[in-house]
């Protein structure tokens, strides 16, 4: 066993353009170096309140229960489902990728009677398919969906499924891990009951917190539960008692992570949500143009269904998927992601999220990817691809 230790001071700067985490702004990193405070220190409580206020603006909600859960986006997923589902509740889960599958698995473990509405990867579900399933048997208590499916790059429209949830008096659970802060997520207007995200994607804070919001309707359902939430740690009533005015001790909050999220949310709101959404669209379209100019095929063929923050591109036949990603990281200092599930080895996942959503980053990636593909015998015009990046950004 080697006695050599990795030096944190010697870590190279990496351009993070995978499915998350994204780049973190230096001011957000500096926020984490602020002096430690106790998790019940009045000064920290003030920072908590400000963080919650900013989260409400980013979620576009007035929900009193809005807070960052201590845990990653997966903790947000489990919290949403654990609080919404009681054993034997009928649950409908829309599955068009890896994370929809994860929601369905969690719902089963919670004792829900799960009906899956599944469509091929790379496609969005037709609301009529969901309604057809909902009409069969007992009315569903929960309808769950992934807004931005990180495994495929598909953006699933929320509003039609929200209307169905209301029609059947079901709670709508929305996974916004890869969309919040980069793609419009308007909780109140859309009619979402439980929504969660991750700090490390379009918000560009380090991983470790799950922004979360619950509607009054969801909280009324929670208060009427016949059985306790299976998870003490993720019971919203207990967590909210700490984040609300009661300040009842629940767990030791990750103080420095809250500092980082506070600063990251400040940056989001300083830029403005509309401007931020527009930037993500502009950068994504520039990336799509550059990739296509290299001769590559985007996995989501309908541009209207592509996520501005996450793009999937087909690995060309005969090209070494893992080898390209490894060399991108080792030689060019750029990280992109590989495929998951049935798309493993077949696609690259490229993130343009938060601080990573910049035209200079797209140009750097397109140039590096074009060079590596040429080394593997794939003919392309890097100069033309870079011109396509610039032209697409200008048109937007």
Domain boundary among 269, 287, 307: 269
CATH of the domain at 349: 3.90.1150.10
**Do residue 163 and residue 55 come from a single domain?**
yes
**Do residue 231 and residue 307 come from a single domain?**
no
Q: Could you report the per-residue pLDDT of 106-162, keeping only the tens digit for each?
A: 999 999 999 999 999 999 999 999 999 999 989 999 999 999 999 999 999 999 999
**Do residue 379 and residue 253 come from a single domain?**
no
Q: In sequence order, what DSSP letters do the residues of 24-49 get, joined into one string?
A: --HHHHHHTTSPP--TT-HHHHHHHH
**Residue 97: CB atoms within 10 Å:** 28
Residue 15 covered by a domain:
no
Residue 3 covered by a domain:
no
User: Using 50, 70 and 90 to split pLDDT, how confident is the model at 1?
Assistant: very low
Say what the pLDDT of residue 166 is.
97
List 310's β-bridge partners, or say none.
307, 351
**Do residue 250 and residue 299 come from a single domain?**
no
- The DSSP 8-state label assigned to residue 183 in this structure reads B
Residue 4 covered by a domain:
no
**Do residue 122 and residue 209 come from a single domain?**
yes
> What backbone torsions phi and psi does residue 279 show, to the nearest 5 degrees?
-60, -45
44 has pLDDT over 90: yes
CATH of the domain at 185: 3.40.640.10
**Do residue 32 and residue 89 come from a single domain?**
yes
Q: Could you report the per-residue pLDDT of 359-390, keeping only the tens digit for each?
A: 999 999 999 999 999 998 888 899 999 999 99
**Do residue 321 and residue 370 come from a single domain?**
yes
- Provide the domain limits for residue 171: 26-269
Residue 5 covered by a domain:
no
Distance CA 85, CA 91 (A): 8
List 313's β-bridge partners, or say none.
298, 348
CA 305 from centroid of its chain's CA atoms: 16
List 149's β-bridge partners, or say none.
154
User: Using 50, 70 and 90 to split pLDDT, how confident is the model at 286?
Assistant: very high
**Do residue 252 and residue 283 come from a single domain?**
no
Distance CA 239, CA 233 (A): 8
Residue 122 covered by a domain:
yes
Domain boundary among 220, 250, 269: 269
Distance CA 212, CA 205 (A): 15
Burial of 136 (0-12, 13-18, 19+ CB in 10 A): exposed
Burial of 111 (0-12, 13-18, 19+ CB in 10 A): middle
**Do residue 86 and residue 99 come from a single domain?**
yes
User: Using 50, 70 and 90 to split pLDDT, how confident is the model at 3?
Assistant: low
Distance CA 64, CA 211 (A): 13
Distance CA 58, CA 49 (A): 14
Average pLDDT, the chain: 96
**Do residue 35 and residue 98 come from a single domain?**
yes
**Do residue 85 and residue 118 come from a single domain?**
yes
Say what the pLDDT of residue 395 is.
85
Residue among 275, 256, 171 nearest 216 (CA): 171
Q: Could you report the per-residue pLDDT of 190-241, keeping only the tens digit for each?
A: 999 999 999 999 999 999 999 999 999 999 999 999 999 999 999 999 999 9
Residue among 55, 64, 52, 129 nearest 93 (CA): 129
Distance CA 225, CA 229 (A): 8
Residue 20 covered by a domain:
no
Residue 152 covered by a domain:
yes
**Do residue 284 and residue 251 come from a single domain?**
no
Q: Where do runs of H (alpha helix) occur along the chain?
A: 26-31, 42-59, 73-84, 98-109, 127-135, 159-167, 187-190, 216-223, 236-243, 255-271, 273-293, 321-332, 359-375, 382-395
**Which percentage of the chain shows pLDDT scores above 90?**
94
**Residue 22: CB atoms within 10 Å:** 27
**Residue 383: CB atoms within 10 Å:** 11
Distance CA 253, CA 275 (A): 32
pTM score: 0.96
Q: Is the peptide bond before 21 cis (omega within 30 degrees of 0)?
A: yes
Total domains in the fold of the chain: 2
Query: Is residue 267 a contact partner of residue 204, using CB atoms and an 8 Å limit?
Result: yes
| Pairing mode of beta strands 310-314, 171-175 | unpaired
Residue 6 covered by a domain:
no
Domain boundary among 221, 237, 269: 269
State the Cα angle at 43 between 42 and 48, rounded to 5°: 90
């Amino acid at each position: 066993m080697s006695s050599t230790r990795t030096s944190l001071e010697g870590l190279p700067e990496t351009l993070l353009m995978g499915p998350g985490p994204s780049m973190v702004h230096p001011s957000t990193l500096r926020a984490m170096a602020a002096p430690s405070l106790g998790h019940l220190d009045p000064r920290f409580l003030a920072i908590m309140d400000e963080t919650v206020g900013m989260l409400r603006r980013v979620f576009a909600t007035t929900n009193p229960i809005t807070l960052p859960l201590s845990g990653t986006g997966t903790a947000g997923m489990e919290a949403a489902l654990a609080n919404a589902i009681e054993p034997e509740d009928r649950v409908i889960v829309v599955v068009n990728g890896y994370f929809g599958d994860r929601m369905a698995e969690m719902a089963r473990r919670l004792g829900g009677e799960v009906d899956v509405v599944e469509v091929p990867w790379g496609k969005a579900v037709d609301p009529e398919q969901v309604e057809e399933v909902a009409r069969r048997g007992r009315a569903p208590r929960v309808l769950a969906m992934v807004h931005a499916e990180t495994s495929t790059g598909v953006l699933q429209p929320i509003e039609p499924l929200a209307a169905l949830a209301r029609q059947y008096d079901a709670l709508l659970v929305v996974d916004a891990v890869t969309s919040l802060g980069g793609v419009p997520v308007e909780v109140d207007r859309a009619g979402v009951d439980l929504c969660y995200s991750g700090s490390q994607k379009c918000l560009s804070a380090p991983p470790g917190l799950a922004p979360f919001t619950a509607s009054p309707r969801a909280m009324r359902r929670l208060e009427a539960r016949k059985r306790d939430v299976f998870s003490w740690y993720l019971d919203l009533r207990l967590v909210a008692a700490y984040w609300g005015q009661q300040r009842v001790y629940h767990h030791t909050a990750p103080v420095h992570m809250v500092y980082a999220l506070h600063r990251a949310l400040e940056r989001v709101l300083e830029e403005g949500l509309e401007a931020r959404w527009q930037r993500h669209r502009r950068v994504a379209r520039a990336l799509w143009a550059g990739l296509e100019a290299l001769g590559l095929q985007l996995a989501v063929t309908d541009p209207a269904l592509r996520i501005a923050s996450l793009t999937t591109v087909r690995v060309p036949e005969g090209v070494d998927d893992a080898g390209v990603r490894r060399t991108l990281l080792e030689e060019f200092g750029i990280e992109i992601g590989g495929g998951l599930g049935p798309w493993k080895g077949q696609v690259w996942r490229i993130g343009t999220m938060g601080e990573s959503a910049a035209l200079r980053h797209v140009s750097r990636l397109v140039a590096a990817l074009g060079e590596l593909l040429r080394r593997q015998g794939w003919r392309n015009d890097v100069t033309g691809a870079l011109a396509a990046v610039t032209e697409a950004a200008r048109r937007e």
